[in-house]
């Protein structure tokens, strides 16, 4: 009997796709379409991403037996498809076994499931809390023999943590590491992923293919950007960021083992483009996956609402955005002109709804209750809350989702009005500091991101970018009347929020101690507002909500 020869070429298709959490049949249909595409390209194997059939992250859905059963049925059905002698598949799915509910992958070929592998290292930090819904794999995974090639399949965190999963796979005979991932975007994340992969390649001595999910899921955006690192530590291929695609790669066995010798080499966007496209993708998927036909926002003539309008048109198209200017006696003629110019540049519907009557009506209704008090922030906030009520009325009447427009600087210090300009379903700039909003606005005026549905040219009037920001709730008001200049404020906030720095260290950067104490105090006392805020796209390493979870009731202050 002659020994069956092992292959020297393996064609692996990487399915960088946009699943929807809970849409099991829709995800299965997407997987089938991708496999058919890969078959036409001559693939031997299709690699899908983490928990693809369920959508990632499924969170507490995996606690429902009916959900788990539906996911496993879909996995079985997909496995049967491989009886057609086409490519085999590796696809993520939650599986309930005697050892618990696992974040798993199946390997299917020849019409059946030939192997299951369970995630060993469950992340429990930042945006991840998998330990509350999954059990880790009971054993370290061994390689899977796929058509004569021993493939190691560590799942996402298995290559990020310190458990030595990749080394174990190498020691037990793996020849290639194929890694399904659900790795969300934050600024500089691409560099971090490459470093993690290179470390594992160095420690295991094996080439590594990193397949990453694409798409928005609530606050998280998965940016794709799948890649491979060869055993010599070189970048073998790089897929596009923020774009859904099935890419073919070719792997060849040589004297030194396997190496990827063909694959796409896409350029990764620079910082402003990446942030803008993440916000755009997050907004698009939130609106579309939740079934909203269109959106509405208050267009004030300020920069925050202007960039949100641009993002909405780019994500959804001009016909799906309704912008409403709601002027009061303090609204300047510049703001009226700037808002109209912005709407005209974007091509969206633009309405003007004055709020004099509702605000004056509220004031009149409260006259007796407020007798003997001085006018102040309460009366100013009536304007914002009247605007919020009007936007919610339009939402209720026409089924439009309200896009809320507060930036991270405002959300940090409580300078956004609860039940007013914080009203809304989703906030695409929630995790952008004010100076980042300016930077992205300037970038958008000179670039049209791939996949954008909006126009080219200046879509945010230059006057909006140049003028001093103001809520226009009283005569001649500017934001800097009560806050330090935004470059100073943003640096202090980044120190406090992203880096958890102490007051002494922030002062050592050149900031005034009293100012730092005040900003820290404002940050803490605004926590109750942020708990009631709409979700928004995660852009920084530590966003409000999933990453930063501070108590509302909190008397700690750093008085160092």
Tens of pLDDT, residues 65-110: 999 999 999 999 999 999 998 999 999 999 999 999 999 999 999 9
E strand residue ranges, 77-207: 88-97, 100-109, 112-118, 144-146, 149-152, 176-181
Measured CA angle at 557 (ends 554, 560), to 5 deg: 160
Percent of the chain with pLDDT over 90: 83
List, for residues 388-430, the tens digit of each pLDDT value: 999 999 999 999 999 999 999 999 999 889 999 899 999 999 9
Which pLDDT score is estimated for 479? Answer: 59
Q: In this model, does residue 494 exceed pLDDT 90?
A: yes
Rounded distance, CA 24 to CA 74, Å?
7
Annotated catalytic residue 50: yes
Residue 263 counted as an annotated binding residue: no
Residue 481 scores a pLDDT above 90? no
SS3 95: strand
Q: What is the pLDDT of residues 332-374, one digit of tens each?
A: 888 899 999 999 999 999 999 999 999 999 999 999 999 899 9
**Residue 299 assigned ligand-binding role:** yes
For residue 305, say whether it is annotated as part of any ligand binding site.
yes
- How is the beta sheet containing 401-402 ordered, strand by strand? 349-352, 321-325, 295-298, 401-402
For residue 472, the model assigns a pLDDT of: 54
pLDDT at 477: 54
First-residue to last-residue Cα distance in the chain: 79
Distant-in-sequence, close-in-space partners of 4: CB < 8 Å, separation ≥ 6: 148
Nearest-10 Cα torsion for 240, 189, 71, 68: -170
Would you call 289 a catalytic residue per the annotation?
Answer: no
* 81 membership: H or E segment, kind and range: helix 65-81
156-206 pLDDT per residue, tens = 999 998 888 999 999 999 999 999 999 999 999 999 999 999 999 999 999
Query: Is residue 208 within 8 Å of 200, Cβ to Cβ?
Result: yes
Q: What does the pLDDT read at residue 127?
A: 81
What's the confidence (pLDDT) of residue 3? 40
Residue 518 pLDDT > 70, yes or no? yes
Helix (H, G, I), strand (E, B) or coil at 176: strand
Among candidate residues 71, 116, 130, 156, the one labeled active-site is 156
Of these residues, 30, 119, 408, 434, which one is catalytic? 119
What b-and-e string marks burial along 197-227, b requiring 16 or more CB atoms within 10 Å of the CB?
bebbbeebebbbbbbbbbbbbbbbbbbbbbb
| H-run or E-run covering 31 | helix 24-40
Q: Does 42 belong to an annotated binding site?
A: no
- Residue 176, annotated as binding a ligand: no
pLDDT for 154 beyond 80:
yes
Residues 212, 216, 221, CA angle at the centre, nearest 5°?
60
Contact 428, 403 (CB under 8 A): yes
Active-site residue (options: 30, 50, 116, 494): 50
pLDDT band at 246 (very low <50, low <70, confident <90, very high): very high
162 half-sphere exposure, CB direction, 13 A CA radius: 0
* Active-site residue flag, 71: no
Count Cβ atoms below 10 Å from residue 407 Cβ, excluding itself.
28
Establish whether 302 is an annotated binding residue. Answer: yes
């Amino acid at each position: 009997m002659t020994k069956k020869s092992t292959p020297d070429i393996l064609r692996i298709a990487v399915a960088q796709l946009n699943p929807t959490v809970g849409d099991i049949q829709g995800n299965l249909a997407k997987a089938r379409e991708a496999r058919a595409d890969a078959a036409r390209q001559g693939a031997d194997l299709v690699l899908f991403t983490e928990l693809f059939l369920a959508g990632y992250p499924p969170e507490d859905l995996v606690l429902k037996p009916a959900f788990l059963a539906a996911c496993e049925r879909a996995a079985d059905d997909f496995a049967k498809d491989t009886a057609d002698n086409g490519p085999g598949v590796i696809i993520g799915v939650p599986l309930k076994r005697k050892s618990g509910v696992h974040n798993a992958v199946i390997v299917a070929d020849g019409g059946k499931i030939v192997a299951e592998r369970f995630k060993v290292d469950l992340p429990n930090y930042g945006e991840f809390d998998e330990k509350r819904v999954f059990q880790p794999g009971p054993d370290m995974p061994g390689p899977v023999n796929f058509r004569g090639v021993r493939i190691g399949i560590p799942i996402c965190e298995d290559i990020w943590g310190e458990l030595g999963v990749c080394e174990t796979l190498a020691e037990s005979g793996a020849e290639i590491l194929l890694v399904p991932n659900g790795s969300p975007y934050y600024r500089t994340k691409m560099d971090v992923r490459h470093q993690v992969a290179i470390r594992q390649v160095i420690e295991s001595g094996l080439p590594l293919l990193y397949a990453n999910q694409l798409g928005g899921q609530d606050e998280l955006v998965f940016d794709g950007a799948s890649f491979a690192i060869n055993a010599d530590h070189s970048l073998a291929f790089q897929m596009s960021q923020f774009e859904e695609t099935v890419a073919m790669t070719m792997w060849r066995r040589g004297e030194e083992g396997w190496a990827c010798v063909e694959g796409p080499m896409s350029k990764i966007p620079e910082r402003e483009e990446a942030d803008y496209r993440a916000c755009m993708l997050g907004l698009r998927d939130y609106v579309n996956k939740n079934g909203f036909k269109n959106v509405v926002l208050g267009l004030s003539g300020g920069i925050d609402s202007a960039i949100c309008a641009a993002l909405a048109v780019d994500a959804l198209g001009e016909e799906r955005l309704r912008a409403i200017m709601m002027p009061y006696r303090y609204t300047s003629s510049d703001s009226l002109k700037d808002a109209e110019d912005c709407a005209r540049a974007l091509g969206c519907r633009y309405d003007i709804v004055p709020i004099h009557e509702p605000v004056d009506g509220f004031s009149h209704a409260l006259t007796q209750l407020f007798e003997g008090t001085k006018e102040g922030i309460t009366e100013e906030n009536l304007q914002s809350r009247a605007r919020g009520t009007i936007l919610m009325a339009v939402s209720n009447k026409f089924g439009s989702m309200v896009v809320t427009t507060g930036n991270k600087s405002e959300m940090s210090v409580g300078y956004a009005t609860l039940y007013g300009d914080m009203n809304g379903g989703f906030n695409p700039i929630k995790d952008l500091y004010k100076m980042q909003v300016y930077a992205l606005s300037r970038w958008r005026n000179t670039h049209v991101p791939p996949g954008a549905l909006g126009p080219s040219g200046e879509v945010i009037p230059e006057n909006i970018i140049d003028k001093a920001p103001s809520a226009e709730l009283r005569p001649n008001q500017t934001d800097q009347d009560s806050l330090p200049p935004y470059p100073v404020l943003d640096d202090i906030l980044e120190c406090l929020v992203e880096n958890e720095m102490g007051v002494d260290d922030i002062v050592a950067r050149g900031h005034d101690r009293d100012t730092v104490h005040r900003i820290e105090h404002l940050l803490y006392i605004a926590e109750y507002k942020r708990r009631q805020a709409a979700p928004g796209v995660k852009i920084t390493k530590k966003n409000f909500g999933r990453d930063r979870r501070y108590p509302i009731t909190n008397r700690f202050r750093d008085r160092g």
